[in-house]
Amino acid sequence: MSQDQARATRSAQASEAAIAEAARILRAGGLVAFPTETVYGLGADAQRGESVAAIYAAKGRPTFNPLIAHVLDSDGASRQGILSREARLLAQAFWPGPLTLVAPVAAGCSISLLARAGLDSVALRVPAHPVARALLAAVGAPVVAPSANLSGAVSPTTAAHVLADLSGRIDFVLDGGPCGLGLESTIVACLDERPRLLRPGGISREQIERVLGRPLMQSPGSDETIVAPGMLESHYAPRALVRLNACDVRPGEAALDFGGCLRGGLAYRDLSPSRDLAEAAANLFAFLRLLDGSGAASIAVAPIPENGLGEAINDRLHRAAAQR
């Protein structure tokens, strides 16, 4: 980013006054990081192309990945996208909450073309976090928000993580404490009558399939043009190398354990000593950042079961371990 884009970043506890201030900054075209139940988002007014462009610049996103538009409720979502029968079922079951629906754009869609990366579909999410909701209500318009980290880096689950990556690049951080869930939303494309899982996340596949009454289609096959570019192989990457399914800790490694099966390491954290996947999800990104900060060349990660939230945790870990 060039010098003239440098911004003075302020941070404040998410009081009523701070939320009003954040809304004012967004309406004026600025960039505000705010807490959601999944991870911190970097918000901009979805309707202003230049603000959306500033998000890409601040994150250093190499290409224009489409962004998720955050709205207050299903009515707000229906103004932007055409919700199919399946989409409405899922919205009713999981909104507000960590589910993003990709839908064909509605005639009156006001989300800027840049935020949609020129696609004729739009990603919509109704967050549950009270601070995110208060902010959306105060702005009175959709807010696009990718995770508030540098492109390719580990997603932020605290205001301190946001500042570590983006201080000097954004205008304001609303500090609402640590995110409860700690993993991004599940993304489901509802572009025809066969919903597809584009990204595993905070709502498990099993939960979604129970509501739909049938299995989700797999994420895009080779013949498909629709992809979630956030599904790029290397993503969520710490500086250190990541070694998965480790049964031991080698010299010079840090250890990311699950259920107390590893011993030792330059630094050590257990995602959940009691093998609780929700606890592990909430700790995942913070512990990756912390172990990365230990200076270890590599992080050994214990095996994580694949059921429930485990699918999303393993998805992020595989990306963190992917060749860069």
Verify binding: residue 26, ligand TXA, rule CB under 6 A. Answer: no
121 binds Mg ion (CB under 5 A): no
Residue 145 binds ligand TXA, judged by CB under 6 A:
yes
Site string for ligand TXA, 76-115 (x = CB under 6 A): ----------------------x-x-x-------------
Cα 245 to Cα 170, 231, 282, 311, 317: the distances in Å are 37, 21, 20, 14, 10
From 207-215, 221-229, 268-276, 314-322, give the range in contact with ligand TXA by CB under 6 A: 221-229
Residue 187's binding partner out of ligand TXA, Mg ion, none, with CB under 5 to 8 Å set by partner kind: ligand TXA
* Short-list 76, 181, 82, CA closest to 126: 76
First to last CA, the chain: 22
Give min distance, CB of 166 to Mg ion, in A.
13
Contact 11, 168 (CB under 8 A): no
**Footprint of ligand TXA on 148-187 (CB under 6 A):** 184-185, 187
Q: What are phi and psi of 299, to 5 degrees?
A: -115, 120
Burial of 130: CB neighbours in 10 Å, binned 0-12, 13-18, 19+: middle
Closest separation between CB of residue 82 and Mg ion, Å?
25
Query: Which parts of this chain interact with ligand TXA (CB under 6 A)?
Result: 36, 38-39, 41, 65-68, 98, 100, 102, 116, 119, 121-123, 125, 145-147, 184-185, 187, 198-199, 226, 228-231
